[in-house]
Structure 1
């Protein structure tokens, strides 16, 4: 399998300092990894170095055990066996769909190229579209063609540079699912660069959160969401409720009441820390029936999202209000008194 391995990658632009600051990342063969991070953290620079468009200042990049970039080695982009799906497809407007897909199939006879092109279009759900021109396709169809073009030469690695940004939200979900299915069907290793947390969590096998040119945490989507490395990662990957607490044994004492901790989070000695909960772990109750261990607060805001609602509640003893994700109809309004009950286990950070 074509494992991607990046070690100690450093890249800067002039006197402004390094953008990548010793970044390490390993993507198992056949896996789809999402590189997630805020603007300016180095995501696009990382992609360009892996593709060969930029030369790293230090560090190594290897795919399938073959060093592509490192001390004494710099394989040109066209010899790296890497497919690229850029933003908005970037199809050649003067070429048909079939000729776009076949563009990288050099050194093959006409029959083999045609068969490979047809196979790729069928894989991305566009069989029979070969004679159309790019301007005759929707945005989602253009992205599928771009993926077919990237997969046609049978690359070891596919790089996707925020390819769904230009699509509307309803279309984006379907195209993401199709892209993921196509990548799995070919067994290609892939790296998806995105700033969309939900896209990373719902699409990837592995999520690498990048901060200031380094990987702050890398793990499965569930690991990164439920066991974030620190409060910054917690707040960046989804909504987070961060409250101060005193930890002793398997419980943290907080303004929200006693909160049980995951077994791995239990310190040997009592300590103060920041307790992390997710909004879906907080439940609203009637103020008079909250119980002696639950918190009481006042509703500040209610934001309805259709499938659920986010309720912002001010709680005595906390500097910042907390967010409660409530499913179904929410029968509260700003100004209402409510109780808050914590469910599940929390993580804690010093």
Structure 2
């Protein structure tokens, strides 16, 4: 697969790793930040800091450095080291000894909040395949959780759930990231990575945000893009490219009929001249591309390709012609798909 356009290619913008996109080097007590209150247990906390990736006293964290004998164990940040301000003191289950770690040794521990919120997706969409994902999530071991980068705390995940109905595993509002991959993840578990054709094809998922309901893919956001308002987790009028990996909602009536937030998502996310690209299945000979032209109109174009070719990447907007994508266009598309299935 071709590289995903990002607008700025740099290792500095990678979303992989435990300290991805931005600094985790500031320990702050959220109770001193100012702003509307959020809740952590019975303690009232203020609004999450401008950069919610900063550790705060009371946050649950997990050791992710295998060199530590405490690898994959969870504890609570109690304070910053008085002698080494780049280190954090972590209390493990009330043990008297406080262990000090740098940011790269730690992830936020969000196992409990993920197991609480993700089943609500199944409640909203009671389908067998989603139920199986709930069971898989609940069965993840602590060492497996330690391999999934998480750079936002549980309090921020709860806050964003109320906005987007997705479970954030990492920060989603970095202006340097201008591509979104739907149906894939950034950091799949080793047991899954070898089976992912998208990674074998070589596109740079370290330079894109990702959305997928499968935790073992390590997506940025755990959720159902298009079916729930997951797009609200991201910056608006911002993305140069939205790329679907492995499926398209436009080729099957059951899929398209469930995508009630699809058009709103594209309108929210795409900047002028941004594009949405869908993959081509083994039996397909057309690639569908949506472009957000100047004036925020979405135009659809289907390009015919030969067997074995990849869908076109570049979009010549000067010569772009096609139908505007509206609610009425999607309704007609859904009707045509249903007729073809009959």
TM-score (norm 1): 0.28
TM (norm. structure 2) is: 0.28
